[in-house]
Chains A and B, each alone.
Chain A
């Protein structure tokens, strides 16, 4: 009996605070706007019709009469919609009493190892046991109900925080297959969570969220448990187990076995992004093995770059140029006349007969 009384004293203040939040949530729901424009038009039409009749504009008067009927219908529909909307915004079948909330808090203290209400942040939290799913240890989670967010009508006024996080190796924000950035992907629990919060059944709310955390839906996780320790290939984006991933020798990126390539020069594991084709032989080499042609600056592999540090094209051009330079551009002097014969089109001179 004394224990019960002591327990009630501990939870009485948080229960009162919670009650205030839920009461405020009840009254804070905005009322739907009235169809004022439709009403204004309905008020206008009789005056316009009177004017039309006064000026003997009978066609216009008839049209206004028809419009009046049509506007009346629209106004009626809008009001019916408003009634439906108003009823829909009142989903609570049970408003939590102080007694309900107190009983919920006491039951939470029985079900969870650590139940806290932080009066400065207005966060009610419980801690789960360490959760292990398919042999992947995810650690304990703190489920935090942010009471202030209850008032603002936030869709998810709670967070799920990993206390000893063992996040997926592919995404630090995924601390549980169904939790990313502290937000729970509710799936089958969505409606039950929403209803529990709307009705102020906080014990049910925490139990449902905890049960969601204890369950793994392999059909739709943020990151599957099979891939929990996997690594994403930087090239193709596929998730692979760590032993199927190789590090690129150039950019140190994580590359899967299917995407990894080798440098034709040094034979090092390299991703395709770090390889460049040699224009001479079309072999792919890393930047460390490629050298620039002194003439055209093209990257070439060591076997294609000549001793003069030119690519095959520039080397060939150079060869041709050299041959061209060594070929005499002027004819030798004519032994008979002693006059040099100029090359064709280079200039003209009289040729002795």
Chain B
């Protein structure tokens, strides 16, 4: 199934990605972000807070935004 992934870490790209049926938010996070702690990210599904084990549905919108983004001059 397809879900929309918005990864605001770095480039902030938004892409439709294929995920297997029954994939959880944690699965997508681990695949796309790696082993970095989830606590460093604001993870939303359809703009709402979600549990890591929440099962994704077709067309869901997942956004991953770092909570610590460093400004620089």
Interface residues of A (CB under 8 A from B): 93-94, 103-104, 106-107, 177-178, 180, 184-189, 191-196, 199, 201, 203-204, 207-208, 211-212, 214-217, 219-222
Contacts and interface: CB of A to CB of B under 8 A. Distances in A.
7 closest residue pairs by CB, A with B: A178-B71, A187-B72, A192-B12, A217-B70, A195-B12, A107-B47, A220-B72
A195 B69 contact: no
Given A178-B72, A188-B10, A215-B67, 12 more contacts: A94-B14, A107-B47, A184-B71, A188-B71, A191-B10, A192-B8, A192-B10, A195-B13, A211-B66, A214-B67, A216-B70, A220-B73
B65 A217 contact: no
A81 to B, nearest CB: 24
Given A201-B6, A204-B63, A211-B65, A193 B70 contact: no
Contacts of A201: 6, 14
Contacts of B46: 103
B72 A217 contact: yes
Interface of B: 4, 6, 8-15, 42, 44, 46-48, 63, 65-73
A167 to B, nearest CB: 16
A341 B6 CA distance: 115
A348 B48 CA distance: 119
Most buried by A among B8, B12, B15, B72: B12
A189 B12 CA distance: 9
A193 B47 contact: no
A215 B73 contact: no
Contact of B68 (A103, A178, A211): A211
12 contacts: A94-B4, A106-B47, A107-B47, A184-B71, A185-B71, A191-B11, A191-B12, A195-B12, A207-B8, A214-B68, A220-B70, A221-B71
A214 B12 CA distance: 19
A180 B8 CA distance: 24
Contacts of B14: 93-94, 195, 199, 201
A173 to B, nearest CB: 13
Nearest to A193: B12
A186 B71 contact: yes
B72 A185 contact: yes
A221 B72 CA distance: 6
B69 A188 contact: yes
B47 A208 contact: no
Nearest to A199: B14
Contact of A212 (B6, B10, B44, B71): B71
A211 B72 contact: no
Most buried by A among B6, B13, B63, B73: B73
Contacts of B15: 93
Contacts of A186: 71-72
Contacts of B6: 201, 204
Given A104-B47, A201-B6, A211 B69 contact: yes
A188 B12 contact: no
Contact of A187 (B4, B9, B42, B71): B71
Most buried by B among A185, A193, A204: A204
